[in-house]
Amino acid sequence: MAGKQDGGGSLRMSGELAARVPQLLDAMRSVGTGLELHSTLDRICETAAELAQARYAAIGVVAEDGDGLSDFVFHGIDEASADRIGRLPDGHRGLLGALIHHPEPVLLADLAADPRSCGFPPHHPPMRSFLGVPIRVQGEIFGNLYLTEKRDGAEFDDDDLSIVRVLATEAGIAIGNARLYGAARQRERWIDGSVAVTTALLSGGDADDALQVVAEQARQLSDSAAGIVLLPAEEGGLEIVAVAPEGRHGALGVVIPPESQIAALLLAGEAVFLEDAATDPRVLSALVRGYGPSMLLPLQSEGRVLGSLVTLRERGARTFTEAERTLAGQFAAQAALALKMAEAQRDRERLAVFEDRDRIARDLHDLVIQRLFATGMMLESAQRKSGNPAVQQGVGKAVDELDVTIQEIRTAIFALQQGPAEAPSGLRTRVLREINTAAVPLGFKPSHRFVGPVDTMVGELTGKNLIAALREALSNAFRHAEAARIDVVVDSTVTLPDGVAGVRLTVADDGVGIPEGGRRSGLRNLKRRAESLGGDSWYGPGIGEDGGGTGVVWQAPH
């Protein structure tokens, strides 16, 4: 007989129910162990099924907006049966949906006879008897605990309901503790991610690598399929500069146009949250249309938008919770601050380089060229006084070499005195500028050759990436190759392996190359840039026309 209320309002416990109290206490202790939320829900289902002698048990977690279920944990159905059933209940209809909007205990002898029931999907096991109780966490509905099919064909009774309600109360406490622990762990992970991003941005290493860290950390921390970092593009809008995971390089260099509503909002410093990127009319880029829930956050510091951070989940995945949105916003703010500090640090380093370049240019002009002039005049005087034709010819050749050297030094001085904003638009001229700039630290001027009309055939985006590849290749040759000769060839008449017309940059040297185990992030950046345009890049020995030395080949469509 079930428990009854006496006149004073206390519960008179039946003998059968009293006999199950020790089992209930053991179940409550079991439920209260552990702090991981999903394992806690599994344990509650298993314990409730054992306590009420039910064949099946489940917990439906109510979504944050109170409409439907965000999670469904079950016990008693094996994986093979679950796969045959297919999609889990979403709580938008049927008895489960009704219990979300009216969270009251339910005890049914025949589930199918209830007017709120909408039946079962194919391959679902038969279920007749049903017991459901709400689970409250700190006074708010967390979800509902469902039990079906009492063993031996019996029906759930009031004793079962009473004992499961007690268990649900204890489950609410255990779930509350697990949620607090999970939230603390989640905050800790986001903080660790922010530290990793700050360290990467301020380490003084390669900027592309640091932005890749931002994208990868955002992807992992938000449990997303992809992470993207965008920076303001020169022509307006936002340019994709980093994509995680690293294998997806087809998006690099793509510009989200300024007329995009989402780009305008991000550049105005507003966050955008999409329930389904594939169907949202504001999404213009086809790159995002294959994804579902998305967060697009401005990288903003002191009112200035430095870029944007995007995290994308697969279609059909759960939407981002309010806690995840808040943590991601804080992460983006920290990344923006680190980005600004890194920018200031690079500005200081750039200023120091410019000051050093000015000093070198002055020294070259005031000291080296004057001494070369004086040496040339001394040689010319000696040439006139010498009566030996062979000596006169040799001295005259030496004077000519000095004149060429003086012209090359003047070219280097001009390159040193140019600022980045003065870079000319022609690709040929930009290549020559990089070569002349590299001549100063190298101690010699790399040779160069152009094949085809590079200025008219190579587009602006490809040209910009080619110059970056040339700068990285010359830097590698200076730092690693110990080369005495470097040859630069830009060929705009090549045909790529897929039959598309393209441009190929070859930087070959007579040096030793990067040592085994040496840092190769720059080479990865070259390859990533080429692949983002549909091209390729590789490094190795025998790149030069004579089959010797080492070098880099970089190629992409026009």
293 within 8 A of 316, measured Cβ to Cβ: no
Residue type, 310: V
Cα 366 from chain centre: 50
Q: Residue 48's pLDDT is what?
A: 87
Find where tokens 């206390």 sit: 10
Give the model's confidence band at 457: pLDDT under 50 very low, under 70 low, under 90 confident, else very high.
Answer: confident
**pLDDT tens readout for residues 379-419:** 878 877 777 888 788 887 787 777 767 766 766 666 566 55
- SS3 string, 431-483, reads HHHHHHHHHHHHCCCCEEEEECCHHHHCCHHHHHHHHHHHHHHHHHHHHHHCC
Structure tokens, 368: 């080296």
Rounded to whole angstroms, the Cα distance separating 29 from 24 reads: 9
Which of 244, 344, 340 is CA-nearest to residue 298? 340
Q: Residue 328's pLDDT is what?
A: 92
Q: Residue 147's pLDDT is what?
A: 93
**pLDDT tens readout for residues 204-225:** 666 777 888 888 999 999 999 9
Structure tokens, 74: 């079950």
Mean pLDDT of the chain: 81
Find where tokens 């080479």 sit: 523
Q: Residue 299's pLDDT is what?
A: 92
232 within 8 A of 305, measured Cβ to Cβ: yes
Q: Indicate if the pLDDT at residue 130 is higher than 70.
A: yes
Cα angle value 251/198/469 (rounded, 5°)? 40
Residue 61, beta-bridge partner list: 71, 143
Q: Which CATH architecture has domain 426-558?
A: 2-Layer Sandwich (3.30)
Rounded to whole angstroms, the Cα distance separating 445 from 360 reads: 16
High-pLDDT (> 70) share of the chain, %:
85
Residue 8 neighbours by CB under 8 Å, 6+ apart: none
Q: Residue 308's pLDDT is what?
A: 93
Q: Residue 312's pLDDT is what?
A: 93
Q: Residue 424's pLDDT is what?
A: 46
**pLDDT tens readout for residues 37-50:** 888 888 888 888 88
**pLDDT tens readout for residues 157-168:** 888 898 888 888
Residue 450, beta-bridge partner list: 490
155 within 8 A of 17, measured Cβ to Cβ: no
Q: What is the mean pLDDT of residues 343-357?
A: 74
Residue 291, beta-bridge partner list: 314
Q: Could you say which of 3.30.300.30, 3.30.450.40, 3.40.47.10, 3.30.1200.10 is the CATH number of the domain covering 186-343?
A: 3.30.450.40
Rounded to whole angstroms, the Cα distance separating 407 from 260 reads: 50
**pLDDT tens readout for residues 408-432:** 676 666 656 655 544 445 788 888 8
CA distances from 418 to 45, 201, 273, 358, 489 (A): 72, 27, 44, 10, 24
Give the model's confidence band at 8: pLDDT under 50 very low, under 70 low, under 90 confident, else very high.
Answer: very low
| Sign of the CA dihedral with 238 first, then 239, 240, and 241 last | negative
Domain map of the chain by residue range?
Answer: 4-184, 186-343, 426-558
Q: Which residues of 465-480 are buried (b: 16+ CB within 10 A; e: fewer)?
A: bbbbbbebbbebbbeb
Q: What is the mean pLDDT of residues 136-150?
A: 88
Mark out the alpha helices in 130-241 (DSSP H runs): 158-202, 207-221
Q: What is the mean pLDDT of residues 502-511?
A: 88
Q: What is the mean pLDDT of residues 514-518?
A: 57
Q: What is the mean pLDDT of residues 45-60?
A: 89
Rounded to whole angstroms, the Cα distance separating 46 from 30 reads: 10
Q: Residue 10's pLDDT is what?
A: 37
**pLDDT tens readout for residues 70-120:** 788 899 998 888 888 887 888 878 888 888 888 899 999 888 888 888 878
Q: Residue 227's pLDDT is what?
A: 92
Q: What is the mean pLDDT of residues 361-369?
A: 74
Cα 424 from chain centre: 34
Residue 72, beta-bridge partner list: 60
Rounded to whole angstroms, the Cα distance separating 225 from 315 reads: 10
Q: Residue 369's pLDDT is what?
A: 75
Give the model's confidence band at 544: pLDDT under 50 very low, under 70 low, under 90 confident, else very high.
Answer: low
Q: Indicate if the pLDDT at residue 5 is higher than 50.
A: no
Q: Indicate if the pLDDT at residue 522 is higher than 80.
A: no
Q: Residue 297's pLDDT is what?
A: 93
Local structure of 75: helix, strand or coil:
strand
Q: Minimum mean pLDDT among 30-34, 126-130, 439-443: which range?
A: 30-34
More confident residue, 483 or 306: 306
Q: Indicate if the pLDDT at residue 4 is higher than 60.
A: no
Q: Indicate if the pLDDT at residue 55 is higher than 90.
A: yes
Helix (H) or strand (E) holding 377: helix 369-385
Say yes or no: do domains 4-184 and 426-558 share a fold: no
Q: Residue 421's pLDDT is what?
A: 47
Helix (H) or strand (E) holding 19: helix 15-19
61 within 8 A of 73, measured Cβ to Cβ: yes
**pLDDT tens readout for residues 464-480:** 889 888 988 887 777 76
Q: Residue 69's pLDDT is what?
A: 83
**pLDDT tens readout for residues 230-269:** 998 887 889 888 888 876 556 788 888 888 888 889 999 9
What homologous superfamily does CATH list for 4-184?
GAF domain (3.30.450.40)
Q: Residue 552's pLDDT is what?
A: 87
Q: Residue 224's pLDDT is what?
A: 92
Give the model's confidence band at 149: pLDDT under 50 very low, under 70 low, under 90 confident, else very high.
Answer: very high
Helix and strand counts by DSSP (H, E) for the chain = 15, 18
Q: Write the Ramachandran bin of 268: left for phi over 0, alpha for psi from -120 to 50, otherwise beta.
A: alpha
Helix (H) or strand (E) holding 21: helix 21-31
DSSP percent split of the chain into helix, strand, coil, nearest 5: 50, 20, 30
Q: What is the mean pLDDT of residues 40-61?
A: 88
136 within 8 A of 174, measured Cβ to Cβ: no
Residue 313 neighbours by CB under 8 Å, 6+ apart: 222, 223, 224, 225, 291, 292, 293, 294, 320
**pLDDT tens readout for residues 288-315:** 778 999 999 999 888 889 999 999 999 8
**pLDDT tens readout for residues 157-202:** 888 898 888 888 888 888 888 878 888 888 888 988 888 888 877 7
CA distances from 212 to 25, 251, 396 (A): 52, 13, 56
